[in-house]
């Protein structure tokens, strides 16, 4: 599958060990808030809100908390509004990086993102410098469970309209056209499949392997960016295998 790499699994293991619930809730609340302000509080007609709520539920955010955030966002005028900003640049070794942020303080966020890049050997670029290397795709990730037959799951995914299907020792990965994403998800959920993540993301056209010293800095840069409350998503074309990751500290 284009854009998939072992880095995803390392990231998942790290998240399971040290994720801070408050930080996750802050990021998801901001996304829900921005979605409501943009398209209203009805998930049936607001795709962005529908997807934000799906993410929140996947992270086990209580329904009461989700509902309170939606109500707050749809309340009185004058409530905080977030600016959506995309930063583009290159990580150490030349890997392409895109950062999506939601912030009420653009100067603070720009300074923080620039610092994360420069501290780890990367550099920010102009808008458009790397975005042409990425395409929007739907991604569905399911835990690999003993009761799931891989071949049957793959056939059902393709029949539902998936573009690609891949697996490793932990998970199944389904890629879709963004326009078919919801239908594929709905069809597979109707067959009792559950997903750890279901979202529209940016996939790189090609992946970039890095030398160990650059790979280590790249991982530290990604961690620093994702640790920022204003940063919603970090996309990159960095690819590493388990052998390399075992050699470096991350």
Whether 166 contacts 1, CB under 8 Å: yes
178-234 pLDDT per residue, tens: 999 999 999 999 999 999 888 899 999 999 999 999 999 999 999 999 999 999 999
Whether 136 contacts 120, CB under 8 Å: no
Average of pLDDT values for 130-146? 93
Q: Considering the entire predicted model, what is its pTM? A: 0.85
Catalogue all structural domains in the chain, each as residue range(s) with its CATH number.
6-73 (1.10.10.200), 83-132+207-247 (3.30.70.980), 134-204 (3.30.70.980)
Q: How confident is the model at residue 249 (pLDDT cuts 50, 70, 90)?
A: low
| Dihedral sign for Cα atoms in the order 236, 89, 201, 16 | positive
d(CA 62, CA 64): 5
Whether 184 contacts 138, CB under 8 Å: yes
Burial of 126-146, coded b for 16+ CB within 10 Å and e otherwise, reads eeeebeebbeebbbbbbeeee
pLDDT tops 70 at residue 61: yes
Nearest Cα residue to 21 out of 53, 83, 65, 51: 65
Q: How confident is the model at residue 148 (pLDDT cuts 50, 70, 90)?
A: very high
| 201, β-bridge pairs | 137
């Amino acid at each position: 599958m284009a854009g998939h790499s072992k880095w995803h699994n390392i990231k998942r293991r790290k998240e399971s060990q040290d994720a801070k619930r408050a930080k996750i809730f802050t990021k998801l609340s901001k996304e829900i808030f921005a979605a409501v302000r943009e398209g209203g509080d009805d998930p049936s007609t607001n795709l962005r809100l529908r997807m934000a709520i799906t993410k929140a539920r996947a992270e086990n955010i209580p329904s009461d908390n989700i509902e309170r955030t939606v109500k707050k966002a749809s309340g009185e005028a004058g409530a905080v509004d977030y600016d959506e900003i995309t930063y583009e640049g290159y990580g150490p070794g030349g890997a392409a990086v895109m950062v999506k942020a939601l912030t009420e303080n653009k100067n603070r966020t720009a300074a923080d993102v620039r610092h994360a890049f420069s501290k780890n050997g990367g550099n920010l670029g102009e808008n458009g410098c790397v975005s042409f290397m990425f395409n929007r795709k739907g991604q569905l990730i399911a835990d690999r469970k003993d009761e799931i037959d891989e071949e049957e799951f793959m056939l059902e995914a393709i029949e539902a309209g998936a573009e690609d299907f891949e697996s490793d020792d932990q998970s199944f990965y389904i890629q879709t056209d963004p326009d078919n994403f919801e239908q594929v998800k709905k069809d597979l959920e109707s067959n009792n499949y559950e997903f750890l993540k279901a979202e529209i993301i940016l996939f790189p056209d090609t992946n970039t392997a890095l030398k160990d010293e650059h790979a280590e800095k790249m991982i530290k840069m990604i961690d620093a960016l994702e640790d920022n409350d204003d940063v919603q998503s970090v996309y990159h074309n960095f690819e590493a295998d388990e052998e390399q990751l075992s050699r470096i500290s991350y």
